[in-house]
Amino acid sequence: MARRNVCVTGATGFVGRTLVNHLDEFGSFGITAIVRNEIAGFPSSVKVVKVENIGADTDWSKVLTDCDCIVHTAARVHVMSETTANVLAEFRKVNVQGTINLARQAARAGVKRFIFISSIKVNGEMTVLDKPFFADDVPDPVDPYGVSKMEAENGLLDIAAQNSIEVVIIRPPLVYGPGVKANFLNLMSWIWRGIPLPLGMIYNKRSFVALDNLVDFIVLCIDHPAAANQKFLVSDGEDLSTTDLIRRIGDALGKPARLLPVPVLLLTIGAAFLGKVDFAQRLCCTLQVDISKAKDLLGWSPPVNVDKGLYRVAVNFLENYAKG
């Protein structure tokens, strides 16, 4: 197979950096890591290009020369302390206008494939138990981030319909892996410190995807002919309740979780009192995805199971975060 030149935006991010390093291990890819600020820490074989801002007017000409495939992981993500009056407009600047601008220039430059890392939020925020989202469901985003990702998807498919460039859309649920931050890291820290958690009676089901599984799927989509102009959902293939997830994180850490059997109703009332309704919803609601399209159309299955994925996160946590 001929050497393919792959450009990765957001290359210093959680997904982007792992993807770049994984592609480099193959030895059959020419890799361009597109970064905003940091330029260190990549293998010497990786070309690093600095693009400070992604928007409607960004010039991508220095990136697109000889590029065969773009994997667009860069995005404006949630800002917890958001103070902007028009949040959707801010998301659109990067996630919609920036993405469409890049794709149009890529099409003109002869790039063959554009892989867009979208979000399960395009489908919606929650599902009914055992009635998962499917890749080709009618989108139903709720928040500005999900809306912006949906609009970017629609724009990309329009560009693909009018040009020779192929588009692949991947919507992951929550991604976990070594170096994971935010609520997942907090949860691991609480378990490690032996803090009792009132989460022992949550019987929901949630889909997650290990970083290794997501990266494996992205790599498959670089060349697979059947992936062209398709949307995919991706996960570990095993759905967990929040209670089960916490127990299995504890097992991976070697620190059995201390779970208190508090009913969900009391949890939600307490969360409302503390102004943490959104956080409680993420803990208690169901969000399942069906990955049968990825399996049937591309012949893909997750190479890493949940326990192995959690073990890898735990090892990284113990090496970098655990105290005492």
Q: Which residues are catalytic?
A: 145
* C-alpha–C-alpha distance, residues 49 and 46, integer Å: 10
Nearest-angstrom CA–CA distance, 164 and 242: 44
* DSSP-assigned states of every residue in 61-127: HHHHTT--EEEE-------TT---S-HHHHHIIIIIIIHHHHHHHHHHHT--EEEEE--GGGT-S--
DSSP string computed for 242-307: HHHHHHHHHHHHTS---B----HHHHHHHHHHHT-HHHHHHHHS-B-B--HHHHHHH----SS-HH
Torsion of CA 33, 38, 42, 45, to 10 degrees: 50
**Helix (H, G, I), strand (E, B), or coil: what is residue 57?**
coil
φ and ψ at 45, to 5 degrees? Answer: -80, -10
Triad 248, 254, 256: Cα angle to 5°: 60
First to last CA, the chain: 50
Question: What does the block give as tokens for 14?
Answer: 């959680």
